[in-house]
Structure 1
Amino acid sequence: MSGKPKWQVARLDDIERRGRDIPVREHLGIHAFGINAFTPGEDGTLVNEHDESGTGHEELYLVLDGNATFEIDGETVDAPAGTYVFVAPESRRKATGDGTVLAIGAAPGEAYQAVDWGEAWSFHNESMKAYSEQRYADALEAVRAGLQHTPDHPGLHYNYACFATRAGDTGDETFDHLRRSVELLPRFREDARKDDDFAAVRDDPRFEEALR
């Protein structure tokens, strides 16, 4: 018998926040699909601008409270509480506002493979902030520190390879981390083939070797 409970109840206020993120999926131990909630940042950001072309995820957003404004492929959508917004993988989207947005996503026809950040979250958060500011060397240092703390974390190994490539470090160690990420979480094999972070090494034979 599995020790996982058959059902759970949680309120948003019960879930420990990670900055403006509310990690619903990890809190409840969900692995069949992605689900998390987001509160606004200081600049009003609810959903960072992105698309899901790399993952193939369809995403459904539900505005739980307050009001959000979505921009999807250049079009603006006003979304008060109770509004559902469905976005296909290839569409570019972002959202701002003063409310709370729940995001649910997965790729049609594929088993969802989750990355649980757990104790690695603080290192991941620091690294992604540096990455978003194109401070790739700083992002890499944060990941190195995280790997000292959680040496078998698949997301940290994958991001190490991403950030190192962006920083111009394309030595064997970079591909070793990519290989290890795939060993720990096979979904990274296809993610890497679509990831722009690896554009500079896509034709390097070590790249495909790492994904075998």
Structure 2
Amino acid sequence: MKDLGGQVAYWDTVGAGKNFTHPVEFDWLAEVRRDARVLDYGCGYGRVMGELSDRGFSDVSGVDVSAALVERGRALRPDLGFAVLESPPASARPAASFDVIVVFAVLTCVPDDEAQRNLVAELTRILAPGGLLYVSDVLLQDDERNRERYAAHAQESGGPYGVFATGDGAVCRHHDIGHLHALLSDLDLVEERRIDVPTMNGNRCRAVQLLARKR
């Protein structure tokens, strides 16, 4: 269950009914042409895609590992283009295919360091030079409940600190900000902001959004 595709069974069942909440900072995209090629990688049911389309972006597509979430998205927004990722993290798109890629609460679903690096490498490959990678993800939490489950999972699995299992069957990861900066070190960081968001299970958490540009 290390990589993005390792939890498909969860996202095709329990996860298919979840609602996602990370907000889009549209000021960060104010100078992006509305005909820019935009990809929502890990699009779920297309919430962010819909917001982008409603703000005038005309070339928006999305991919996700979950056929059930993609089906939900197609029912909600038949005007948008969804596809299932068959061999994640590979997207089956040529290099430099997109001007903007959004990756919202995706790294949290990829517990393993190497799998995360492979994912970011694929996103960098399909991002055009000068293009923007917009990441929104969850930071390490400092409350007792989370510290205990981080420690328990690390002791049990030997995996990175910050990984934990949810009560309904997902394995997720919360991140040290230095780790996220390192993942994006081949890109130029443009913007960063801290936010609070509800998790998919209704708990409040600290998160971060990062906007990076391909060199």
Instruction: Report the TM-score, using the length of structure 2 for normalisation.
Output: 0.29
Structure 1 or 2: more strand by fraction? 2
**Richer in helix (by share):** 1
The structure, 1 or 2, with the larger RCO (C-alpha pairs under 8 Å, 6+ apart) is 2
Larger Rg, first or second structure (1 or 2): 1
TM-score (norm 1): 0.30
